[in-house]
Amino acid sequence: MRIGLVTVMTSLSLGATLAEAAGVLTIGRREDSTTFDPIKTAQNIDLWVFANVYDVLIRVDKTGTKLEPGLAESWEVSPDGLTYTLKLRDAKFSDGSDLTADDVVFSLTRIRDDEGSLWADPFKVMDTVEATDPKTVTIKLKQATAPFLATLAFPIASVLSKKGFEALGPEKYAETPIGSGAFTITEWRRGDRVILAKNPHFWEADRVSLDGVEWISVPDDNTRMLNVQAGQLDTAIFVPFSRVAELQKDSNLTVHLDPSTREDHLLINHEHGALSKKEVRQALDMAIDEQAVVDTVTFGYGEVANSYVPKGALYHYADNLKRPYDPEKAKQMLADAGASDLTLNYVVRAGDEIVEQTAVLLQQQLAKAGVTVQIQKVDPSQEWDMLVAGDYDVCVNYWTNDILDPDQKTTFVLGHDANMNYMTRYNNEKVKELVAAARIEMDPAKREQMYTDLQKMAKDDVNWIDLYYSPFINVSRNNVENFYQNPLGRFFLEDVVKN
């Protein structure tokens, strides 16, 4: 009932918004942002918004395959791979103040040193970060690190205004940040929308056509699609697989099937009772028919995932690691592990059609192995808090890579402490050590073997259960041009035109 009320209220408010400015792009999404402090979040609902509010030193191009200059117009790496010297371009923050090397030093060291940082691990390799002059930053590493340039392109490495942060304080800055990206946040109506305006001080301001962007929360998938069809929204993301064919027939719409690094998986809380046993997790994996999930839930738009490293990504291990589907053997394995009467609390985001369909299907599949699954539907805003608190047994979630190198995802889901390995509480010291070693291995062949080993070890331990890979599926009305999401998830809103 609560979702219904939110949906109706959102729908009623959309029409008034559209009349305000033809140059304002409206984007419908499932849920609202939680913070705009880069180091305090791992959620796409935050990253995809502030990627167009902040800017980074080095960018990933539209294809999601190459690095290109951002706030750093050039950089040099010493022959020993320990010193990175970055030359900053002339750029300003949204308040008109100059962006300097001091801001870069502040931003990068904060990621590494702040106690609340979720992303400290990839940046601990930095020994010193210094402002050599107002336009030059020198970073010295403790040891050569293969993914460091790619890490600087991560949205978490966004450059914050040091003076602005100190003046506003962390909480206020996280709500109304001062960035140097294409847009700036003018208002955040929590639970409803984030309102962006064009940043006139953006160093590529001439590239931006839109007057602004509104990210509007419409939790129910069906309502969100209807709003686009009715012209109450310009665009919508997270199009359900079941709606693709129908929307493609609408002459007023364009459905975007953009290549992605998305992988959907079943999170498992390793600290809950029998789930701490590897044999139990292996049995659950064997009891799930991933191909049936692809056929039933994704309508064939997905592909069975055999590894946490997405297909097509660097060091993806192409050999099939998936366990054979065998519910009878899974049932016996559970009995041997003393878990014949296993009952699981399955947390589900209410209103998410795909997640709800997956939950029902997995409930049916696991029942064949004697597992009782109790589905608990919760508000989308509540789900993440429950994962953090460990208040779940299993939960379907997804991941999209944010950098070109596998280190980011590998660190976060296998070798990380601060976020409890993506809230699974997975803990394998040998894996953690190999994650750290792979980060600093400079020989590509040796590094590839390390990631192959990590994929095999993760599959053996069942850190989570890989389900499927799928494209980003979004929809836009035909008066919107250049609405595009690259494989790493970034929307290039600076290039969007609304006619």
Does any domain span residue 172?
Answer: no
Task: Tell me how far apart the alpha carbons of residues 131 and 85 are, in angstroms, rounded to a whole number.
Answer: 10
Residue at 240 is within a domain: no
**In this structure, are 158 and 102 located in the same domain?**
yes
Task: Name the band, by pLDDT with cuts 50, 70 and 90, for residue 495.
Answer: very high
> Do residues 366 and 373 make contact, with C-beta atoms less than 8 angstroms apart?
yes
Read off the pLDDT band of 436 (50, 70, 90). Answer: very high
pLDDT of residue 15: 43
Q: Is residue 9 part of a domain?
A: yes
Q: Are residues 358 and 293 in the same domain?
A: yes
- Please give the share of the chain, as a percent, with pLDDT higher than 70: 96
- SS (HEC) of the chain: CHHHHHHHHHHHHHHHHHCCCCCEEEEEECCCCCCCCHHHCCCHHHHHHHCCCCCCCEEECCCCCCEEECCEEEEEECCCCCEEEEEECCCECCCCCECCHHHHHHHHHHHHHCCCCCCCHHHCCEEEEEEEECCEEEEEECCCCCCHHHHHCCHHHCCCCHHHHHHHCHHHHHHCCCCCCCEEEEEEECCCEEEEEECCCCCCHHHCCCCEEEEEECCCHHHHHHHHHCCCCCEECCCCHHHHHHHHCCCCEEEEEEEEEEEEEEEECCCCHHHHCHHHHHHHHHCCCHHHHHHHHCCCCCEECCCCCCCCCCCCCCCCCCCCCCHHHHHHHHHHCCCCCCEEEEEEECCCHHHHHHHHHHHHHHHCCCCEEEEEEECHHHHHHHHHHCCCCEEEEEECCCCCCCHHHHHHHHCCCCCHHHHCCCCCHHHHHHHHHHHHCCCHHHHHHHHHHHHHHHHHHCCEEEEEEEEEEEEEECCEECCCECCCCCECHHHCEEC
Predicted confidence at residue 6, as pLDDT, reads: 34
Do both 49 and 62 map to the same domain? no
Residue 253 pairs in a beta bridge with: 477
- β-pair partners for 194: 188, 215
In a domain, 294, yes or no: yes
Predicted pLDDT of residue 250 = 98
Mean pLDDT value across residues 142-152: 96
Confidence at residue 312, expressed as pLDDT on a 0 to 100 scale: 86
- Going by pLDDT thresholds of 50, 70 and 90, the confidence category of residue 443 is very high
The model's pLDDT over 164-187, given as tens digits with 9 standing for 90+, comes to: 999 999 999 999 999 999 999 999
- Domain boundary pick from 110, 133, 165: 165
249 falls within a domain: no
In a domain, 246, yes or no: no
pLDDT of residue 144: 95
What average pLDDT does the chain have?
94
User: Is residue 11 pLDDT above 80, yes or no?
Assistant: no
Q: How far apart (Å, rounded) are the C-alpha atoms in residues 435 and 415?
A: 6
Residue 251 lies in a domain: no
pLDDT band of residue 416 (cuts 50, 70, 90) is confident
Residue 345 within a domain:
yes
Tell me: the pLDDT tens digits for 271-312?
Answer: 999 999 999 999 999 999 999 999 999 999 999 999 999 988
pLDDT of residue 16: 40
- Structural domain including 305 reads 260-471
pLDDT at 10: 40
The pLDDT, as a whole number, for residue 8 is 33
The rounded distance, in Å, linking the Cα atoms of 50 and 42 is 12
- Give the pLDDT score at 7: 35
Res 50 pLDDT > 80:
yes
**CA gap 230, 18 in Å, rounded:** 12
For residue 78, give the CATH number of its domain. 3.90.76.10
71 lies in the same domain as 88: yes
- Identify whether residues 329 and 220 lie together within a single domain: no
Q: How many domains does the chain have?
A: 3
Give 322's pLDDT tier (boundaries 50, 70, 90): confident
- In this predicted model, what pLDDT tens digit does every residue of 118-145 receive, in sequence order? 999 899 999 999 999 999 999 999 999 9
CA-closest candidate to residue 235, choices 18, 27, 490, 485: 27
